[in-house]
Amino acid sequence: MKKLHLACLFLGTLILAAACKRDTDFNYYYYEPADFALLSQYLNLPDRPENYQSTLPKHLQSLGLAARPVDYDKATLGRVLFYDKNLSKDGTISCASCHKQELAFSDDKKVSAGVFGLTGDRNSIALGSVLSFSAYYGTDLFGPSGVPFFWDNRANTAAEQNLASMTNPNEMGMSHTDIVNAVQTQPYYEPLFRMAFGSNQVTQARVSEAIAEFVNGIGSYKSKFDSEAEKTLGYNTYSNLERNNFSGFSAAENRGKLIYLDNCASCHSPLQGRPEKMKANNGLDAATVDAGVGGVTNQANDMAQFKVPTLRNIELTGPYMHDGRFATLEEVVEHYSTGIQNHPNLSPELKYGYQPKKLNFSAQDKSDLVAFLKTLTDQELRTDKRYANPFK
């Protein structure tokens, strides 16, 4: 019996010892630890993909706009591709070289510089000029009913667009096989492709799809203008309520808003949703210099017509117009005030009869209008870590 007691004592201690064991602590991971270690050698990626879903404010929803769902794994891969200089012929240029986050994804050059110091003939378009890339362009979802890409509307989907950028000899200068090779030689793409596509096979189509997914995840809808519009209008945007003063705006900004609604909104749209027109001529030159949409369609009445950009973050995206001819917003406003040229295709919104409008803004009008345009700046977009350069 003594032995039995001893045994019981021993058992009791054993059980107590076991009962005092440490707490439950599971380690949740998204990337397999070995994969994440590999990624972390090259990249500053979070341990799980960022959420790229955009929920638009009410006043934009009321226009029937919605951002389509974004695949976070593809967007993460796309983000890396977007910043990867290996994707250019001379290894110096990435998408981000001409589309800089702090400038709402545009650059500050008149015309952008690509590989081997070559320059194109057009000003970089700010990817952050739109409320949500996918809502604005309706890419892949609404197809041709969305807004087309580029100053001359020559691309219809984001994937088509970015392929054009990669293969443009003045931009990144790559061939399709160059792209695949460049991606395949970088070790960090293996896990990223596996997560995004279920296999590590690299194809040009997958590269384009992933970049498009990232670009579709970009959106700017948190400007001062948006917070005021949501507060004042909510879903009630059908009855010109935007003419009401916004309580958070200064007097100058409210006056500028009215000038904008009266003179500019017929093309650039009242709420910076989608533009009212897909293409227009705003009277930059009396004769055609750059054929614009006409260069793609070869139609006489498309000559010198260009994409109508929305003006979100316009303060950050100078120089302005397709050729970057205006350095400041004041110059742009001066153009509309006194400089509109009578091009044969000048859009009717900017004409009185057969003559170009002279809006003849006063000095006060001009500064009010510029003050209003600056309310379209979205500071959050400039520093949003989801869009930042992931390279170490």
Partner 1 sequence: MRQNLPLLLCIALCLSSACSHYYYAPNSLQTPYLQQKHDTRASIGFIGGNEFSGWEASACFSPVKYGAVLFNHFQVQHAKPDDNPERKYGNGRLTEFALGAYNPIKKNMSLSLFAGWGGGQVFNAYGNGGVSNLRFERIFLQPGMMIQGKRARFGVATRFNRLNYVSGEVDLGIPPTELNAIRSIENVSPIYFSELGFVGGFGAAPVWVDFRINLNNKESLHSSGFATSTAGISIQFELDYFWRKTEANRPMNSFNTE
- How far apart (Å, rounded) are the C-alpha atoms in residues 336 and 353? 17
Q: Exposure of 33 by Cβ count < 10 A (0-12 exposed, 13-18 middle, 19+ buried)?
A: exposed
User: Closest separation between CB of residue 82 and ligand HEC, Å?
Assistant: 6
Cα–Cα separations (whole angstroms), residue 281 to 54, 260, 301, 334: 32, 18, 10, 16
Task: Identify residue 285 by its one-letter amino acid code.
Answer: D
Closer to ligand HEC by Cβ: residue 159 or 233: 159
Tokens of 144: 């041709």
Region binding partner 1 by CB under 8 A among candidate stretches 21-29, 154-162, 239-247, 260-268 = 21-29
Report yes or no: 264 and 320 within 8 Å, Cβ to Cβ.
no
SS3 375: coil
Closer to ligand HEC by Cβ: residue 62 or 153: 153
Q: Exposure of 7 by Cβ count < 10 A (0-12 exposed, 13-18 middle, 19+ buried)?
A: exposed
Report yes or no: 318 and 326 within 8 Å, Cβ to Cβ.
yes
User: Closest separation between CB of residue 309 and ligand HEC, Å?
Assistant: 4
Region binding partner 1 by CB under 8 A among candidate stretches 5-13, 82-90, 281-289, 300-308 = 5-13
- Among 60, 382, 28, 5, which residue's Cα sits nearest to residue 226? 60
| Binding of residue 15 to partner 1 (CB under 8 A) | yes
Size of the site for partner 1 (CB under 8 A): 28
| Binding of residue 102 to partner 1 (CB under 8 A) | no
User: Closest separation between CB of residue 24 and ligand HEC, Å?
Assistant: 45
Report yes or no: 115 and 127 within 8 Å, Cβ to Cβ.
no
Task: Identify residue 24 by its one-letter amino acid code.
Answer: T
User: Closest separation between CB of residue 234 and ligand HEC, Å?
Assistant: 26
Residues from 232 through 271 that contact partner 1 (CB under 8 A): none
- Residues making contact with ligand HEC (CB under 6 A): 82, 93, 95, 97-99, 112, 114, 120, 122, 124-125, 127, 149-152, 161-162, 165-166, 171-172, 211, 215, 263-264, 266-268, 280, 282, 284, 306, 308-309, 311, 314, 317, 320-322, 332-333, 336, 347, 349-350, 369
Report yes or no: 267 and 277 within 8 Å, Cβ to Cβ.
yes
Q: Please count the CA atoms within 13 angstroms of the CA of 194 that sit on its side-chain side.
A: 10
Task: Identify residue 137 by its one-letter amino acid code.
Answer: Y
Q: Pick from 58, 154, 194, 222 the residue near partner 1 by CB under 8 A.
A: 194
Closer to partner 1 by Cβ: residue 16 or 363: 16
Closer to ligand HEC by Cβ: residue 31 or 171: 171
The binder of 32, among partner 1, ligand HEC, none, by C-beta within 5 to 8 A per type, is: partner 1
Closer to partner 1 by Cβ: residue 127 or 195: 195
Other beta carbons within 10 angstroms of residue 247's beta carbon come to 9
What x-and-dash track marks residues 35-74 binding partner 1 by CB under 8 A? -------------x--------------------------
Phi, psi dihedral angles at 119 (to 5 degrees): -120, 150
Q: Pick from 14, 37, 205, 251 the residue near partner 1 by CB under 8 A.
A: 14
- How far apart (Å, rounded) are the C-alpha atoms in residues 331 and 359? 14
113's CB contacts (< 8 A; 6+ apart) are 97, 98, 119
Closer to ligand HEC by Cβ: residue 62 or 378: 378
Gyration radius (Cα) of the chain, Å: 26
Closer to ligand HEC by Cβ: residue 59 or 268: 268
Closer to partner 1 by Cβ: residue 23 or 362: 23
| Binding of residue 8 to partner 1 (CB under 8 A) | yes
User: Closest separation between CB of residue 161 and ligand HEC, Å?
Assistant: 5
Chain residues in the site for partner 1 (CB under 8 A): 1, 3-4, 7-8, 10-12, 14-15, 18-19, 21-30, 32-33, 48, 194-195, 198
